[in-house]
């Protein structure tokens, strides 16, 4: 077991005004727990880096990871998860809309035997048309496609047991789909209502295009959940159907030619049969290639989707440049 009970992972992008206030709240909530606070500076262009460095110089429980540029929230979470040492890892936003006082609620629920506790912003303090309605549609679609019935996939405030996130590959907008991935390997998940506060400082980083990207990523998640280790089952099945139908047509036309003396050049069905056979063989071939690629992927070396410029660990500056 780790000596650290709780790791707090917070992606940060241009939040210089919110960081000190968030830090004070976190220290109040975590004062009776052994903890670490991992702050990932995701290519901020304001004074966020200076504010983070100042905090780290005064508190050895803070770890700072500075990205070389903006890689996005998923990459920031992946870096934070990789660096975490706690038995429980809690992720939250850096804009102070997530309430740090809900951390104890999540941890208490985890003591009941759950592996992931997902926050549900029941009374969400965001704009109706630009944030709440698109999010509601996306949540319904994700729940329908993945089969994991959560009402708020987009809430960053979540608690994970260490074994869940340590072997999780994240990219794109995949951080919100961690519960769906975890459910597919047998994790126990529960959703609890959490407080959501209006943004009072800084500017939001979200827009409607992000919702569109999330919906497209949902299709990727569906594939990864069901066919990531057996793509032949998805690609080969339609190929097998096409090959079977084409073979039946070819057998029928052969019988018709030999025993009834028909002219094949007058039958468009011949072209359909040949097309189905060719398409079927192509699908089967693609399935075999996909199977080989999957084996190469799972056996290959891992490359992280981000570049760390420097870090502050236990008050010490470490450059990777």
* Band of pLDDT at residue 1, cut at 50, 70 and 90: very low
Distance (Å, rounded) from C-alpha 133 to C-alpha 79?
A: 30
Query: What pLDDT shows up at residue 209?
Result: 63
Average pLDDT, integer, range 216-242: 72
Per the CB < 8 A criterion, the answer to whether 248 and 209 are in contact is no
The pair of three-digit structure tokens given for residue 215, joined into one six-digit string = 């919906």
Put simply, whether the predicted model's pTM sits higher than 0.85 gets the answer no
Distance (Å, rounded) from C-alpha 295 to C-alpha 135?
A: 36
Per the CB < 8 A criterion, the answer to whether 299 and 291 are in contact is no
* Band of pLDDT at residue 29, cut at 50, 70 and 90: very high
CA distances (Å), origin 133, targets 140, 180, 205, 208, 296: 11, 22, 17, 10, 41
Q: What is the rounded average pLDDT for all residues in the chain?
A: 82
Per the CB < 8 A criterion, the answer to whether 96 and 24 are in contact is no
User: What is the gyration radius of the CA atoms in the chain, in angstroms?
Assistant: 26
* Band of pLDDT at residue 224, cut at 50, 70 and 90: low
List, as one string, the DSSP characters of 43-95: S--SSHHHHHHHHHHH-TTEEEEEESS---HHHHHHHHHHH--SSEEEE--SS
By DSSP bridging, strand 62-67 and strand 308-313 are: antiparallel
């Amino acid at each position: 077991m780790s000596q650290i009970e709780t790791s707090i992972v917070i992606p940060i992008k241009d939040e210089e005004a919110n960081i000190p206030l968030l830090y004070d709240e976190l220290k109040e909530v975590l004062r009776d727990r052994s903890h670490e606070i991992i702050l990932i500076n995701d290519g901020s262009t304001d004074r966020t880096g200076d504010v983070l460095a100042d905090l780290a110089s005064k508190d050895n429980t803070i770890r700072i990871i500075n990205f070389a540029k903006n890689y996005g929230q998923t990459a920031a979470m992946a870096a934070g998860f990789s660096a975490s040492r706690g038995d429980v890892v809690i992720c939250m936003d850096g804009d102070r809309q997530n309430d740090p006082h809900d951390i104890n609620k999540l941890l208490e629920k985890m003591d009941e035997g759950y592996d992931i506790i997902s926050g549900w912003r029941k009374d969400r303090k965001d704009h109706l048309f630009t944030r709440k309605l698109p999010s509601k549609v996306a949540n319904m679609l994700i729940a329908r496609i993945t089969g994991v019935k959560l009402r708020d996939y987009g809430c960053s405030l979540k608690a994970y047991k260490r074994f869940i996130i340590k072997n999780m590959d994240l990219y794109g907008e995949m951080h919100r789909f961690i519960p769906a991935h975890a459910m597919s390997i047998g994790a126990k998940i529960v959703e609890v209502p959490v407080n959501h506060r209006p943004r009072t400082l800084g500017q939001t980083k979200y827009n409607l295009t992000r919702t569109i990207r999330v919906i497209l990523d949902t299709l990727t998640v569906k594939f990864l959940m069901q066919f990531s280790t057996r793509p032949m089952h998805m690609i080969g099945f339609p190929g097998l159907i096409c090959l079977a139908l084409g073979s039946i047509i070819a057998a029928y036309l052969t019988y018709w030619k030999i025993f009834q003396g028909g002219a094949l050049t007058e039958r468009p069905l011949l072209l359909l049969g040949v097309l189905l056979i060719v398409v079927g063989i192509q699908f089967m071939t693609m399935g075999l290639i996909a199977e080989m690629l999957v084996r190469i992927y799972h056996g290959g070396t891992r490359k992280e989707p981000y570049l760390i410029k420097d870090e502050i660990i236990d008050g010490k500056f470490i450059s990777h440049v």
